[in-house]
Structure 1
Amino acid sequence: MIALWTRRAARCVALLLALSSTACVSLSDAQRERAAQIATQARSQVIDCQTPDACAQPSPLHDLGERALADSTPAEPRHFALILDRGEDSLLARLNLLRSARSSIDLQTYIFDKDDSARFIMDELLLAARRGVRVRLLIDQLSAIADLRILGALSGAHRNLEVRIYNPSFGKAKLNYFDYAGSVICCFRRFNQRMHTKLLLVDQAVGITGGRNYQDDYYDWDAEYNFRDRDVLVAGPVAQTMASNFEAFWNAQRSVPVERLNDVGTTLLQGGVPTMPPAHFLRPQRVEAMSRDASDPVLIQQRLVDAALVVSDVKYVADLPQKHRREHGPDAAPSAPQLESLISTAQHEVLLQTPYLVMSDEAQDMFRGMHERADAPKVIVSTNSLAATDNPIVYSMSFKYKRRYLREFGFEIHEYKPFPEDAPVDYATLMPEGPPMDPPPGAVESGKPIGPSGSLGPSSGSSRASASGGGDDKGKGKDSDTAGETTRKMQRTESRPSFFSSGAGSSPVPLKRAGVRMGLHAKSMVIDGRIGVIGTHNFDPRSEKYNTESVVIIHDQAFAQALASSIRRDMSAENSWTIARRQKSPLFSGLDYSLGKVSESLPLFDLWPWRYATTYEFMPGPDCPAPLQRTDPAFMKCYRDVGDFPEVNIGPKWLYTRMLTAFGAGLVPIL
């Protein structure tokens, strides 16, 4: 009883501290109106271009939208679809479309940083507004631009530019420790309801959605860790559905104009609209090269347009902001049920790619039922290893249930390597000094990170702890073209549980080798080789219950097969390890299995040390010319056991994750 009262008292104290810390910056209605007036009156009214097309640059990528709309009828819609696998291509497509916009740009995202790629996009949005394009930028508050000077400058920059923040806790754009603590204690459910939807829509004709946010590590521009991600560009009538969904979010009660937020408003009241801080690009030559490429129609045609596929049956399925009401109808949250419906109707194969393999009870029941069918389809999963993931806590839950995934659901699981050998990236740009190498003896143990060349340096693929903090830009401010330089503290919060921290809740674990690490972030699916899905949905409980999500579903065999080829490349032996049952012990194997199963089912204390499954690596040879399925009789001859956590350097290999699986089960609903 005393302990209970102590916990309650601690919560009350934390809440009072949080509320007191925010009270001093809370604005009255009159002050908020005055701040909005300051921003509105400061906005430039000057339009740099007087032509009907707002001086838009010619773009064969933008032309896809016009061609698709011109060739479409209500009965026979026509679309172009382009899979954006390469990070730099995805950034290139965005920049080209922004410069080709003639009337409107709507951008909706979960994370918007202020590093090279994000600032590049930010400046392009300002240029578009000044030449006459209506620009609307909607960012989720949890990962919005963490700089009040920049937000204040954007609020009063131009009449054609509007910025809104979704679901701001305590009416602020930038939260501190006490804000987070107070939000978790007083408003846990609302604080975790995030707008995870990501969309760039240009002229209501061409849209991009998928896993990427606006931060360097989504475009292969980070010096330490980059996401293997995927977007899809769609041009045609479905853009109208995208526009309607964006409009619903833009006009939602939780979408607050940035100038009306307490902290941004205080900035405006105290000093007027600040000037935009100058851009200090970490690698200006790279930015300049990308800028040139984005205005080269021949290059855009060759790298992007030529790869676009003609498709007809395209759906944009997206949750509405009403999903965040306590009582909402099925129409407010259609993404999860429609995806489950697609999966459950599979006849032959489900190819699933998710960075975080944590499933809701409903999803587990569905996959268990599918596996029990006489004609059960194969379910092949591409996901992260502990060495590759950006969130070890989430991985711990995947690790906990591997027996269930393999035995009860029949999954074939492939876990992404931190240093894939055949990823869709420009290795020369990513690692100009060569591939990852083994560190000198004792270097990692001494706590000194290893640079890509093997010399002691500030950057290391063996540790991201120095680059995983909050949103404050604490980089060294040096311009450099070397991939081995630590850039800044990251505000990556894509998958973290929102507890008492204004920074990232977790960071990648240390590795044995140095280098630029990669981790899966793509969210995609292929059903029976004929239906392709790309979007923001992680197929996890958080996506189902808390976040708003969006997906593009395309019923087209050519598109589905192209997507399947991309996912299978990620699962290849060069890029992923295979999860399979470990070899049976000659003694007590049945008892071991039973005790492990019982321990796994416990809600908290899962402490049985011997796991059902482990990680294997393909060993090619004369008798093993090609990778095998884990059920093949020759599997053990062609694969070697590399342990539960290959590449990971965390002392006793299993200790860290085993602790998380033992005590972290209660986190599943919000992971």
Structure 2
Amino acid sequence: MNTTDKPLAALLAASLAALRLTACRLCILALQHLVISRALCGALMVALSMLAGCAALPGDVQRVASQARTDVGDSTLAHIAAASLPGAAGPLSGVRLLPGGDDAFDARIALAAAAQHSIDAQYYVVADDTSGRQFLRELRDAAQRGVRVRLLVDDLYAGGEDELLAGLAAHANVEVRVFNPLPVRSGGLRTRVLLSLHQIGRVNRRMHNKLFIADNSFAITGGRNIADEYFGRSKPANFIDMDALLAGPAVRELSASFDAFWNGPLSYPFEAIAAGDRPAPAYARERFAALVRHLGRFMPAAGERDALGRGAVGVQLAQGRVELVPASVRVVADAVVQAQPVAGDAGGDLDGTEGAVMAANLDLFRTARSEVLVVSPYFVPMPRMIDALTHASQGGARVSVMTNSLATTDEPLVHYGYARHRSAILALGATLYELMPASEPRPAETESGRGAGSLGRLHAKLAVIDRRWFYVGSMNMDRRSAHCNTELGLVVDSPALAGELADLIERERMPASFAVSEAPERGGLQWSFLRGGQRWVLHQEPESTWAQRLRWSLLSLVVDEDLL
């Protein structure tokens, strides 16, 4: 930044600080009346738009359309995929679940290393950390072998990674695009969002998809972004997640979904929106090489098997056959451009039409005859979801819902959006579980909030129906995923895999969770858990203080649930 920019930057920073302080003071007033709340929000948007200078995206952007490679039959991965499926598979795809972080990262790295024709990668987050840099280095190495690499990243968390993305994009055979960029590129996430509120209707549409495709022969999709916390490499918290590895017809359907986003109107070539002056390609490549040079090579533990008893994908690829289960797979993907809102839930409010992924899940719930098991890190049900689960329960299905507790969630505001619905979930006859922190829960709260130890945060997005069908994908069971984000998922018909997944949840996750129920004598809710052969019961949100509960519950009242 040159010296002439500094007074303006200082004024902007001071203005933003004043706005934040004013907004916090006005929140309590806004709690008293919805009209006041909406007026304050409108005034804040106008003020921020003025400060942003009505920043906008470039209008004349050249996008060269491209499609998934289909001339891949001679590739090593295509031969391994064919060898991994029975000859009579026909329309069936091959599926393998990836419950462990190490195995999920190994699968991506091994596929990238084996690719000979193309790699397509689509992610909500590619972090500038060890995992992110190792992943991007593999993409560069593939490109240097002549592999065509297409990387599509949502812009919300990509604002501070221009140097890394520019360095990758400067290589031959690589193209990087950014989905639905915010009009302001520079600054931290909070600043960028605040200065983009004049376009909130557009920037609220985020690409939450997670997809990796190698040689149009193998694909990985599910809940994991590319960051340390998704692969068990972060301290003090890591995400408990699930992906699926696929071969067969479903891969081509996933490639079609990627192409729709890649060639869509909201995907911008990185070079068109990068902040500041573009470095010379040679310099950008040198900087990228320096950023990734001293990283080690990822090596999974030799001989280890995952929680489902399967060996490392990289080892199996080297052996020429991957252990896959033949199954009927339906790929469900939301549209690139959001549908227009229609009149919806009770109360007369406008409620955005659910995307294809949420609609598929609600339809699946309604088919249940014996069991519905839902796992979601963020669970903020809309009335139609409550209706679908009620329909299943009244039809005789056992309904179980698992989500994060306040002690394990990374989004306390979303948790309080969910908390308002707990009694309704229990009233429909469901069993409700909230993941416990890894350390001993404290029956008596302390104001320090310390002592929780390392955390495993639930991040898997799953549903198992009648131990025959299951869903795995990127979509949380909340309103933002239904109405604002784009999502991607699979509906799989496989009693073997569905039973395996349900057993894993019941064996490893339910015993590590609070069972939430109505307190019959005291009223309200209670959280029970087993520890050391003894049953403990808590009568307030575990691992929380009264100040925390008050703060987040008040804030949750002024935030539209569609934004949670």
Normalised by the length of structure 2, the TM-score is 0.80
Q: 1:114 to 1:63 in 2, by over 3 A?
A: farther
Question: Match for residue 458 of structure 2?
Answer: 520
* Distance (whole Å) between structure 1 residues aligned to residue 563 and residue 38 of structure 2: 24
Alignment of 1:275-286 (within 5 A): 275-278=286-289
Structure 2: stretches of 5+ with no match in the other structure: 1-34, 64-70, 305-310, 343-351
Select 1:234's aligned residue among 241, 246, 250: 246
RMSD: 3.8
Q: Deviations over 1:332-355 (max 9, x none)?
A: 932111111110110010011000
* Distance (whole Å) between structure 2 residues aligned to residue 4 and residue 383 of structure 1: 31
Q: Deviations over 1:73-115 (max 9, x none)?
A: 7xx3232211100001000000000011121110000001110
Select 1:418's aligned residue among 437, 448, 468: 437
Select 2:401's aligned residue among 366, 378, 381: 381
Alignment of 1:202-213 (within 5 A): 202-213=214-225
* Distance (whole Å) between structure 2 residues aligned to residue 219 and residue 138 of structure 1: 20
Q: 1:359 to 1:258 in 2, by over 3 A?
A: same
Question: Match for residue 539 of structure 2?
Answer: 643
Q: 1:91 to 1:69 in 2, by over 3 A?
A: same
Q: Does 1:615 align with 2:511?
A: no
Question: Match for residue 192 of structure 2?
Answer: 179
Are the equivalent residues in 1 in contact too, given 2:179–2:207 (CA < 8 A)? Answer: yes
Q: 1:259 to 1:418 in 2, by over 3 A?
A: same
CA-CA distance at 1:54 after TM superposition:
13
Match of 2:374, as an amino acid?
A: L
Are the equivalent residues in 2 in contact too, given 1:109–1:198 (CA < 8 A)? Answer: yes
Normalised by the length of structure 1, the TM-score is 0.68
Select 2:262's aligned residue among 236, 250, 256: 250
Q: 1:194 to 1:438 in 2, by over 3 A?
A: closer
Alignment of 1:151-162 (within 5 A): 151-158=165-172, 160-162=173-175
Match of 1:664, as an amino acid?
A: S
Select 2:369's aligned residue among 341, 347, 354: 347
* Distance (whole Å) between structure 2 residues aligned to residue 234 and residue 271 of structure 1: 37
Are the equivalent residues in 1 in contact too, given 2:240–2:458 (CA < 8 A)? Answer: yes
Question: Match for residue 126 of structure 1?
Answer: 140
Alignment of 1:562-641 (within 5 A): 562-573=500-511, 575-585=512-522, 612-618=524-530, 621=533, 639-641=535-537
Alignment of 1:172-321 (within 5 A): 172=185, 177-184=190-197, 186-263=198-275, 266-268=277-279, 273=284, 275-278=286-289, 287-290=297-300, 300-301=315-316, 308-321=323-336
* Distance (whole Å) between structure 2 residues aligned to residue 418 and residue 283 of structure 1: 34
Question: Match for residue 560 of structure 2?
Answer: 667
Secondary structure of 1:618's partner? strand
CA-CA distance at 1:655 after TM superposition:
3.5
Question: Match for residue 601 of structure 1?
Answer: none
Q: Deviations over 1:115-172 (max 9, x none)?
A: 00110010000000110111100000102262222222222222x1000000002174
Question: Match for residue 52 of structure 2?
Answer: 18
Are the equivalent residues in 1 in contact too, given 2:239–2:456 (CA < 8 A)? Answer: yes
Match of 2:518, as an amino acid?
A: R
Q: 1:511 to 1:553 in 2, by over 3 A?
A: farther
Secondary structure of 1:108's partner? strand
* Distance (whole Å) between structure 1 residues aligned to residue 319 and residue 539 of structure 2: 41
Match of 2:265, as an amino acid?
A: Q
Question: Match for residue 415 of structure 2?
Answer: 395
Identical counterparts, % of pairs: 28
Q: 1:566 to 1:4 in 2, by over 3 A?
A: closer
Q: 1:248 to 1:175 in 2, by over 3 A?
A: farther
Q: Deviations over 1:277-328 (max 9, x none)?
A: 455689956x45359999x99962299998834223111111120336679x
Are the equivalent residues in 1 in contact too, given 2:159–2:185 (CA < 8 A)? Answer: no
Q: 1:324 to 1:168 in 2, by over 3 A?
A: farther
* Distance (whole Å) between structure 2 residues aligned to residue 333 and residue 102 of structure 1: 35
Question: Match for residue 366 of structure 1?
Answer: 388
* Distance (whole Å) between structure 2 residues aligned to residue 7 and residue 355 of structure 1: 28
* Distance (whole Å) between structure 2 residues aligned to residue 669 and residue 124 of structure 1: 37
Q: 1:558 to 1:178 in 2, by over 3 A?
A: closer
Are the equivalent residues in 2 in contact too, given 1:87–1:218 (CA < 8 A)? Answer: yes
Match of 1:129, as an amino acid?
A: A
Q: 1:125 to 1:389 in 2, by over 3 A?
A: same
Structure 1: stretches of 5+ with no match in the other structure: 37-51, 420-435, 448-509, 586-610, 622-637
Q: Deviations over 1:446-494 (max 9, x none)?
A: x7xxxxxxxxxxxxxxxxxxxxxxxxxxxxxxxxxxxxxxxxxxxxxxx
CA-CA distance at 1:580 after TM superposition:
1.5
**Corresponding pairs, count:** 506
Secondary structure of 1:90's partner? helix
